[in-house]
Chains A and B, each alone.
Chain A
Amino acid sequence: MSSSLLINISNDATSTIVTLSGRIDEDSHFDAITSSSADVFIFDFENVTLINSCGVREWINLVNTIIKKSKIIYRHCPQIMIEQMNMVQGFLPEGATIESFYAPYFDPDQDKEVKILISLSEVTGKKAPVKNNEKGTELEFDALEAQYFNFIK
């Protein structure tokens, strides 16, 4: 079965950046990643659209292999990835860090949900950071705070 996950690997001066696009599921193959060696792997999840339970298992196997030799950084984690981190042990392995992730907010002016990219340093005490829209109206955090930020140790 062909994989619906695209993996793009590039290198900068200090790390290997792995950009993932599509679905992480039972058909995902990470050979391109496991065959690369780097001191630091930055996983960019910006364009990941779905991860199912089979994908979670595959992902855990991957990162638990990589973490033995390399540092792991998660970047642009969408809500679906954060939810898995909160529920599944090993999805964010010990020693891995999160650079940035998306959180759901509600914009009362537009009456719609928006995903705001925030960095880990903005979150204190598992409280959602205050965010405003372009007009300056404060957005409403649109998830259960204690649960959503549970992955932050």
Chain B
Amino acid sequence: MNSNKFSIYDNLFAPLVVVDKDYKVTYFNQAFLVLTQSSPRSLKNLDRFSLIFNESEVIERFLKGSVQTSEELTLTTPSGHGPLTLVLKSFSVDNDLVITFNDLTVERTLYSKYRVQLEEIKRTHEKILQTDKLATLGELSAGISHEINNPLTIAYGYAQTIEFEVGSKDVIKCDELKTSIERVTSSLEKISSIINNMKSYVRTDEEHKEYCDLKDIATAAIELTHTGLIKETIKLNLKAPKDPLLVQCNRVELEQVIVNLLKNSFDSLLDAKTAAPLVSISLSRGENNISVTVSDNGPGISDQHKEMIFQPFFTTKDIGKGSGLGLSISRRLIEKHQGHLELIDSENGAVLKFDLPTMEMSSMLTSGGFGPEIGPVGQKKVLIVDDEPIVLNQLDELLRGAGYSVVSSTGGEDALNLLIQTEIDLVITDLFMPRMSGSDLSSKVRMLEEDIPIIYLSGAPNAQEIFEKDKKNLVIHSLISKPFSEETLLSTLAQALKVKP
């Protein structure tokens, strides 16, 4: 170390080196010695600064380059010290070049280490989820086999009838034969539906989220659980509004939650031998959320257990009947969907309720949150209004894939609220929706936004007629007929937004 003008850096915590025009080291501070585990002698004997590291060519490129701050570099010293993760910054002082070092080695090491650990935790969690599902399915298998057996018996019976009729010397009665074949087919379809439901229940696709009707999910969960002896013994009521209850979710995970809640109620009622056992599953829509409540008229949950039911491995069931993971997993799955699962105080039986954000809310969160801007700056934002989950999912996938930011709504006031709360660049709306037609929505949109492009989407025969009528009055840009191709959709959007497709 020289007793030169740079000695003010002697006690600096940041490692610092000064090199001359030939890149020979003329000054270094103690922090630099510590960083590189070098000795003053070895530094003084160096012909060029870059030789401090094995990766000298990388250092040379930085020194001779035009940038003053390097990328993150991974460097080692000839004595074997490292690897060090460093960012170098340089600035000139007279004819010297001062180089400082930001040592990110610990941060980078911790990041890598904890990332591996998090991945392990995630994999373990997935295994627990899968194990719980398989265990549940195992417990439900007796009931499910009963459900399969019934249509199988029917199909077998009608197949025998067909065999008899075809083999008989009498004239074949076509109507009767057709009826028999139809009954065989419908019975096999029922079996196929049960098998498919089981298959989808054990499917693992943790990251996949789509727009689903919660009523369909609840129905599938009922089909899996309300079977056999349970179906014969316990009455089940499903209460749901007529309109679809769309949520953006992982269908399998929500089905797992509802299966867990229903199964808990059924087990509790059977164990307690409750008279006139009844389970109700009620679905409802609030302003920003959709609620699912599962209640029963069983013994309920005692005060001493109320605090513990969401803890892993807590169970009041007999050994071998339930892992004690169902509710803790369910709560976690609901929280993953930005929702909340809770036990509701009740004097009659157990009541568990979960809330999920409406699809408008969750699609907005996915697209970057509230406020006037959603999604990355410069990305065009499209509002899709449709009441059919299949169409919403298709549009969502296509538009996101093409780089658009997407928010979705089933229509009505919710769609208008989205327009008020966020800055939308374009609206695609279905024409025929239960609460508000596409025309009515467009006319309200025009009161809020004069210039926003609106595109109609419809497969109805009179769609063209409506479009022609609204085209001038409401300044509708175009009509896309269902079914549509990706190319048609994207080129129409590009024209409306005046961007390159």
List residues of chain A with CB under 8 Å of any chain B CB: 1, 26, 52-54, 83, 86-87, 104, 106, 113, 140, 142-144, 147
Contact = CB atoms under 8 A, between A and B. Distances in A.
Given A26-B110, A54-B106, A104 B30 contact: no
A143 B106 contact: no
A107 B33 CA distance: 19
Contact of A143 (B10, B39, B105, B110): B39
A53 B13 CA distance: 13
Contacts of A142: 39-41
A14 B301 CA distance: 60
6 contacts: A54-B106, A87-B31, A142-B39, A142-B40, A143-B39, A143-B40
Given A1-B117, A54-B106, A144-B1, A104 B34 contact: no
B173 interface: no
A83 B15 CA distance: 13
B33 A143 contact: yes
B39 to A, nearest CB: 4
4 A-B pairs with least C-beta separation: A147-B30, A142-B39, A83-B34, A52-B106
A104 B31 contact: no
Interface in B6-45: 10, 13, 30-31, 33-34, 39-41
A106 B38 CA distance: 12
B113 interface: yes
A99 to B, nearest CB: 23
Interface of B: 1, 10, 13, 30-31, 33-34, 39-41, 105-106, 109-110, 113, 117
A88 B251 CA distance: 54
Contacts of A106: 39, 41
Contacts of A86: 30
Contacts of A53: 106
A116 to B, nearest CB: 14
A53 B34 CA distance: 13
Contacts of B1: 144
A85 B1 CA distance: 21
Contacts of B110: 26, 54
B39 A104 contact: yes
Contacts of B41: 106, 140, 142
Nearest to A146: B10
Contacts of B10: 147
Nearest to B103: A53
Contacts of A26: 110
A5 to B, nearest CB: 15
B39 A113 contact: yes
B32 to A, nearest CB: 11
A144 B33 contact: yes
Contacts of B13: 87
B17 to A, nearest CB: 14
Nearest to A105: B39
Contacts of A87: 13, 31, 34
A142 B39 CA distance: 6
Nearest to A104: B39
Contacts of B109: 52
A36 to B, nearest CB: 29
Nearest to B35: A83
Contacts of A54: 106, 110
A86 B33 CA distance: 13
Contact of B30 (A52, A113, A140, A144): A144
Given A53-B106, A54-B110, 4 more contacts: A1-B117, A106-B41, A143-B39, A144-B1
Contacts of A144: 1, 30, 33, 40
B8 to A, nearest CB: 14
Nearest to A54: B106
B65 to A, nearest CB: 30
A150 to B, nearest CB: 8
Given A87-B13, A143-B33, A147-B10, A1 B39 contact: no
B437 to A, nearest CB: 60
Contacts of A83: 34
A95 B255 CA distance: 63
Contacts of B40: 142-144
Nearest to B30: A147
B28 to A, nearest CB: 9
A1 B33 contact: no
A104 B33 CA distance: 12
B347 to A, nearest CB: 48
Contacts of A52: 105-106, 109
